[in-house]
Structure 1
Amino acid sequence: MEVIRHEGPGRLGLVRLGEHSFRTPALAGVDFTLSPFNSFFHPREPGDYDFNLAPSIPLGFYTPGEVIDKAIGRLWSVNYEGFNAFYLPALRRTEYLGEFFKIIERYNFDAVYLGNSKILIKEYRYFVRILRELRERFPNVMIIADLEPFFYPLAVYLGVDAFDTRSLKLYDFEGKGFTQFSPFIWSDEPNSLDFARKSILEVRKALESGKLRYLVENYFPTQYHAGILRIADLEHADYLEKYTPIQKETVYFVSDASIRRPEVKRWHSRVAERFVPPENTELVLLFPCSAKKPYSFSRSHTLYRKAVKEALGSGIFKVHELILTSPFGVVPREWEWLAKYDIVVTGHWSEEEIKPAAQLLARTLEKYPKDVPIIAHLDEAYVEIAKLAGELSGREITFTRVENGTTSRESLRSLTETLREFSLEATKEDRTYRYFENIRKVFDFHFGAGAGEAVLPENGKVKGSKMLRLFVDGQQTGTYKDGVISVTPYGMQRIYDRLKAYWVKVDFELRGDVFAVGVDEADPAIRPDDIVGIVRDGKVVGVGKAVLAGEEMVRARKGVAVKVRKRA
């Protein structure tokens, strides 16, 4: 199976079987044929199916260890020649997974049928853990499960690629028809296969448009859905984030589960690890977010900026601004183009929103010199966040007097009066430095602290008005426009030399895209859709967009790993 697109561990994939091929997520009996379940003794030969299940021993989820030991011993004696699918019984005793994995690896199966799926779905931790171990160890194996259509979005999001539809006939025999509210509300007309087709089509479209997580959060018909997603978000956040593409479109936070999305975890991590305050900062300002994005285009932030400029004049180029928001927590002004999200604003913040935001703000404030004053122009829950952050960081925060909202005349007057107590003078060099920093920080977000300096050092030049072109020593390193960047091979070489980051190592002459089978090593920090440098013998020979995560590129043996955009 080749991966075309990721959203979390969920994959839009392509399976090639001789002259026949199909896209995943898929349905057995619709998109491909699957042999009946095989016992240990029958059949001895594969049949005329796309996927032939090898002889197996159907162990139950709660099978005791001594029985599993005997079964594994017998499975090693099976002649697997001609069989391309392996029946993996999901077991509560997960310590035996490794033994089954050895068989899968030894005989290079194309698909794994996850047995006991309907019991496993009720065991939240086991469900997520088994899928994670399968997906990480066998990136090109198609995972098949036997689940009802209302589980399709969640199961695909966590790593399942296809579903067996044969057991759905039981619902037809019982006269139950699926609805969008099943399993609580049923139709009187049997429709299992039609509903399965409709459901898998919705999942496929959601994957294609990058909206699978959104679909998952709107598909919570049972307690099992909520429990599984919560376990995945809280206990396997790194698993979800690793395969989640770099955010380019607006993320819609539509439920309590939204604040645990991988994009939020990634944002918090990058603010903590990759954001470095401008060196000439002499005053820090804290502002609330706005409904309009980027914030600078909003009425409220236009008024804030006017008040700051009125009070400080050119000193504004020595001020650094942090915007507080949920669920991203803290948005440095330079990153406001990158904070693409939409959330319901009610003024009510939960503890799950307040505490992480305060902790992130505290870590951010600790990055500034201790003698740099911090002024907060906030109201409502934002004040609570800032006060808690002050306690956690040990930094003193001065609050302006806010009445009737932060944009009222009284509040803006208080902001201006508070700022006039500071005498800041900026030079032409400060203005140029901040102009460069606005560009540099975006490169830091994508590649790590220091990447911006690599593509736009002090002696660098910026040309253009709307689409800015960056140059070092007469050679272009990249472009910047409204938070969107590109990097040339020369720019990527400078990033690689400085940070050794976002590289994919190959040992062949680059002529087209890089396939997974040709990847020798890759930076584990790479995520789908990242800009990466293709490196050969220490030299960047091309720049492209990652299709797979870094670790996945190394393990995978099929499909495109990097779509090459520019060659050196």
Structure 2
Amino acid sequence: MIKSQSFFAYSRCGYLNINGQEIEFPLVLDSDSIQIKEDQISLMGESATKRDVSIGKRTITIAETENFIVPIINPHFLKRSRQTVNFIMDLKKIIGYDKLLYIPGISDPYLLPQLFMLGVDIFDDINADMEGSHGTLYTMMGRIHNGEENSRENGKFLQDLVSLLKKGVESMTLMEMVERWNISSKAREIIRMLMDEKSEEFEKVYPRTTGSVIAGGLESLERPDIVRFNRYVLEDYKKPNNLETILFLPCSARKPYSTSKSHREIFEALGSLRRYINEVIVTSPITLVPRELEETYPAGFYDIPVTGNWFLEEKENIIRSIRSFISKNQYKNTIFFLPEDMLFVKERLNLGEDFILWKKGTDNQFDELKARISQIRSEEDVRGRRDFMKEKLLSIARYQFGEWIIPHIEGLRINRMFNQFMLVDGNKPFFVFNERLGKLTIHKNAAELFVKTRKFLVEIDDFKPTASIYAMGVKDCTEDVRQEDEVVIHHSGSVRGTGIAKMSKEVMMNTHKGVAVKVRN
């Protein structure tokens, strides 16, 4: 019996019960527990039956036990990265998530995290034994040849690596682990294909939030959560209050930016002038962050090495994004207030007086910026007081749920109760802003909005949910649901509660095991 405890995209961890023994997965099998012969296949004491399945233009045989799926293929078939990615992803579509996938003989330690990310659950020590007996030792920096017997050490290396990957799923940091475990060129190829050629499929299973983004290299530019945010800002973002002036600012090490010393100094210097400008922060791998979205994921939850140097790809991404953003939102006035390491923006966009160099630490560092905005203010009609909190909550709602939500909530008022901001109708809370997670949580009072519009729904069998809803109790799920999304739970249109999806739709509808939704009320 399999108990899936946590998912991360195609990867999962949990427990396997065989003959009363509870075993954690992902796991590394001892080769002694595997018997693969032409007439008989046995895995951990479970006998298998065979059947043929079509994958692309190829028909393969898979062996199936109560708990395992084993494709019978020559490991050399998966020598090429593209073939590996296509084969495993196509196979997962056929076999679903009720059984554990084991592909014999492919447990290269320097590909293992990438294979796990693709959905392989079980590995073996066949290669570790063979290479170890020929004097090869696995290390964190790659293989070394010491001429000694290293089979035992190599086996432990695999076990420790698999334990780390399990923790990565549980802590939602698996992507950071995989990005850093790029010792071999094939490992890098697999991840690039997953994020490029398979990006549409991968996005559908990738969690909406992962807790944090530790951006260590250019690969982070293609992460599904980063791509989602950047695409939203460039394609669907709407400037607040019909503002006609945009101010581009640099990022800060501290998040949200508004809590940093540099941005607090800007606030203090500009004072009431801020109500005339749309503030947008320039950064990487997220390129542009409107001030209203700085607290949401991933904008408020990423970290990058701050060196003052930019990769060429980052520069190109920033320039392309700025051009697109300005073109779409149509501002009368554009101001860039950026430091010396971002002079490439001035050069590439051929900026004149629109670019003001931020000379940090000087006594008059904000004088030119204040003068420019004051001039713009005198040319505009007098603007009333801006409700920055209302702008923020509506902008987060639009990003989190889509444009459809705005007509339903723009008339709600903001209330602060129990140290939390809420969107309320009369005395009824509809949405609560969770500052720690940077998102709106759905109150049961707002659930009917989602049922009527068929958005972010999980339909269950006819029962009253308590703390958790298991996948076996799920009947249907709308296409927009991703892991970690806020969802409304219903049965045939009757609201049964709200909660957080712990699986994507693809996983939820293709397994009967594991927690599908954590219920709030």
TM-score (structure 2 length as normaliser)? 0.87
* Structure 2 partner of 1:501: 455
Q: 1:538 to 1:374 in 2, by over 3 A?
A: farther
2:47 match: secondary structure: coil
Deviation at 1:136, TM superposition (A): 3.5
Q: 1:463 to 1:303 in 2, by over 3 A?
A: closer
Q: 1:376 to 1:465 in 2, by over 3 A?
A: farther
Moved more, 333-342 or 300-309: 300-309
Deviation at 1:343, TM superposition (A): 0.7
Deviation at 1:286, TM superposition (A): 1.0
Moved more, 111-120 or 290-299: 111-120
Q: 1:110 to 1:280 in 2, by over 3 A?
A: same
* Amino acid corresponding to residue 456 of structure 2 in structure 1: Y
* Structure 1 partner of 2:275: 317
Measured in 1, the distance between the counterparts of 2:17 and 2:234 equals 43
The answer to whether the Cα contact below 8 Å between 1:335 and 1:442 also exists between their aligned partners in 2 is yes
The answer to whether the Cα contact below 8 Å between 1:179 and 1:187 also exists between their aligned partners in 2 is no
2:432 match: secondary structure: strand
Deviation at 1:559, TM superposition (A): 2.3
Deviation at 1:419, TM superposition (A): 0.9
Is 2:190 the partner of 1:223? no
The answer to whether the Cα contact below 8 Å between 2:135 and 2:146 also exists between their aligned partners in 1 is no
* Structure 2 partner of 1:236: 198
Is 2:251 the partner of 1:293? no
The answer to whether the Cα contact below 8 Å between 1:38 and 1:54 also exists between their aligned partners in 2 is no
2:366 match: secondary structure: helix
* Structure 1 partner of 2:498: 543
* Structure 2 partner of 1:478: 431
* Structure 1 partner of 2:87: 130
* Structure 2 partner of 1:355: 316
The answer to whether the Cα contact below 8 Å between 1:532 and 1:544 also exists between their aligned partners in 2 is yes
* Structure 2 partner of 1:413: 367
- Alpha-carbon RMSD across the aligned residues, in angstroms, is 3.1
Is 2:247 the partner of 1:307? no
2:241 match: secondary structure: coil
* Structure 2 partner of 1:58: none
* Structure 2 partner of 1:464: 417
What is the CA deviation profile of residues 204-236 of structure 1, one whole-angstrom value per residue up to 9, with x for unaligned ones?
Answer: 222222222222232222222222222222222
* Structure 2 partner of 1:162: 122
The residue correspondences of 1:414-453 to structure 2 (distance < 5 A) are 414-423=368-377, 424=380, 430-432=385-387, 434-451=388-405
The answer to whether the Cα contact below 8 Å between 1:139 and 1:555 also exists between their aligned partners in 2 is yes
Deviation at 1:170, TM superposition (A): 1.6
* Amino acid corresponding to residue 149 of structure 1 in structure 2: P
The residue correspondences of 1:200-349 to structure 2 (distance < 5 A) are 200-247=162-209, 249-309=211-271, 313=272, 315-338=273-296, 339=299, 340-349=301-310
Q: 1:162 to 1:108 in 2, by over 3 A?
A: closer
Moved more, 296-305 or 508-517: 508-517
Deviation at 1:163, TM superposition (A): 0.4
Measured in 1, the distance between the counterparts of 2:404 and 2:324 equals 19
* Amino acid corresponding to residue 547 of structure 1 in structure 2: K
1:420 match: secondary structure: helix
Q: 1:551 to 1:440 in 2, by over 3 A?
A: same
The residue correspondences of 1:386-405 to structure 2 (distance < 5 A) are 399-402=354-357, 404-405=359-360
Match of 2:101 among 119, 143, 146: 143
TM-score (structure 1 length as normaliser)? 0.80
What is the CA deviation profile of residues 401-443 of structure 1, one whole-angstrom value per residue up to 9, with x for unaligned ones?
Answer: 31645x6445421111111211256665x433x3211122222
Deviation at 1:486, TM superposition (A): 2.0
The answer to whether the Cα contact below 8 Å between 1:121 and 1:224 also exists between their aligned partners in 2 is no
* Structure 1 partner of 2:465: 511
1:357 match: secondary structure: helix
1:401 match: secondary structure: strand
Moved more, 266-275 or 325-334: 266-275
Q: 1:401 to 1:511 in 2, by over 3 A?
A: closer
The answer to whether the Cα contact below 8 Å between 1:503 and 1:534 also exists between their aligned partners in 2 is yes
Q: 1:505 to 1:100 in 2, by over 3 A?
A: farther
The answer to whether the Cα contact below 8 Å between 1:135 and 1:159 also exists between their aligned partners in 2 is yes
Match of 1:560 among 490, 501, 515: 515
The answer to whether the Cα contact below 8 Å between 2:465 and 2:496 also exists between their aligned partners in 1 is no
Deviation at 1:289, TM superposition (A): 0.8
1:431 match: secondary structure: coil
What is the CA deviation profile of residues 57-100 of structure 1, one whole-angstrom value per residue up to 9, with x for unaligned ones?
Answer: xxxxxxxxxxxxxxxxxx66xxxxxxxxxxx8xxxx96334x44
Measured in 2, the distance between the counterparts of 1:186 and 1:426 equals 77
The answer to whether the Cα contact below 8 Å between 1:307 and 1:415 also exists between their aligned partners in 2 is no
Measured in 1, the distance between the counterparts of 2:74 and 2:117 equals 16
Measured in 2, the distance between the counterparts of 1:551 and 1:206 equals 21
Deviation at 1:292, TM superposition (A): 1.5
Is 2:68 the partner of 1:111? yes
2:165 match: secondary structure: helix
Using the aligned pairs only, state the percent identity.
22
1:362 match: secondary structure: helix
Match of 1:194 among 141, 156, 161: 156
Deviation at 1:164, TM superposition (A): 2.0
Q: 1:303 to 1:49 in 2, by over 3 A?
A: closer
Moved more, 320-329 or 109-118: 109-118
Measured in 2, the distance between the counterparts of 1:187 and 1:334 equals 60
* Amino acid corresponding to residue 321 of structure 1 in structure 2: E
Deviation at 1:475, TM superposition (A): 1.4
Measured in 2, the distance between the counterparts of 1:323 and 1:475 equals 35
Q: 1:354 to 1:50 in 2, by over 3 A?
A: farther
* Structure 2 partner of 1:83: none
The residue correspondences of 1:30-109 to structure 2 (distance < 5 A) are 34-39=33-38, 42-43=39-40, 49-54=44-49, 95-97=56-58, 99-100=59-60
2:268 match: secondary structure: helix
1:525 match: secondary structure: coil
The answer to whether the Cα contact below 8 Å between 1:183 and 1:221 also exists between their aligned partners in 2 is no
Q: 1:187 to 1:352 in 2, by over 3 A?
A: farther
The answer to whether the Cα contact below 8 Å between 2:206 and 2:482 also exists between their aligned partners in 1 is yes
Is 2:27 the partner of 1:26? yes
Measured in 1, the distance between the counterparts of 2:356 and 2:518 equals 53
Measured in 2, the distance between the counterparts of 1:387 and 1:540 equals 56
Q: 1:252 to 1:417 in 2, by over 3 A?
A: same
Is 2:338 the partner of 1:378? yes
Measured in 2, the distance between the counterparts of 1:551 and 1:411 equals 52
Gaps of 5+ in 1: 56-74, 77-87
Is 2:5 the partner of 1:4? yes
Structure with greater proportional strand content = 2
2:177 match: secondary structure: helix
Gaps of 5+ in 2: none
